[in-house]
Structure 1
Amino acid sequence: MYHIGRSICRTFFRLFFRWEIEGAGNIPVEGPVVICCNHINNLDPPLLGSSVSRKVHFMAKKELFSIPLLGRLLPSLGAYPISRGSGDRGALKKSLELLKEGRVLGIFPEGTRSKTGQLGKGHTGAAFITLRSDAVIVPGAITGPYRIFRRVKIVFGEPIDLTPYREKGINTESVEAAMEHTMNEIATLLSKSHSK
Structure 2
Amino acid sequence: MTFYSFARFVANTALKPVYKYEVHGLEHFPKEGGVLLCSNHINNFDPPVVGITAPRPVHFMAKEELFAVPVLKDIIKACNAFPVKRGMSDREALRKGLGVLKAGEVLGLFPEGTRSKTGELGQGLAGAGFFALRSTAHVVPCAIIGPYKAFKKLKVVYGKPIDMERLRGEKASPEAATELIMAEIRKLIEEHKGVSA
The TM-score, its normalising length taken from structure 1, stands at 0.95
For structure 1, list consecutive stretches of 5 or more residues without a partner in the other structure: none
Q: Identity of paired residues, percent?
A: 47
Structure 1 stretches of at least 4 aligned residues deviating more than 2 Å after TM superposition? none
- Could you tell me which of 15, 18, 22 is aligned with 2:17? 15
Opposite residue 180 of structure 1, the aligned amino acid is E
CA RMSD, Structure 1 to Structure 2 (Å): 1.1
Q: Any unmatched runs of 5+ in structure 2?
A: none
Matches within 5 A, 1:47-196: 47-169=49-171, 171-172=172-173, 175-196=174-195
Deviations 1:12-51 (A, max 9, x none): 2321122100001111010000111100000000000100
Equivalent position amino acid for 2:139 in 1: I
- The alignment of Structure 1 onto Structure 2 pairs a total of residues equal to 193
The residue matched to 1:21 in structure 2 has which SS? strand
SS, match of residue 86 in structure 2: coil
* SS at 1:87 equivalent: coil
Which amino acid in structure 1 is aligned with residue 111 of structure 2? P
Larger CA deviation: 123-132 vs 8-17 = 8-17
User: Take 2:64 and 2:135, find their aligned partners in 1: how far apart are those partners?
Assistant: 24
CA distance in 2, matches of 1:98, 1:195: 35
Q: Give the TM-score normalised by structure 2.
A: 0.95
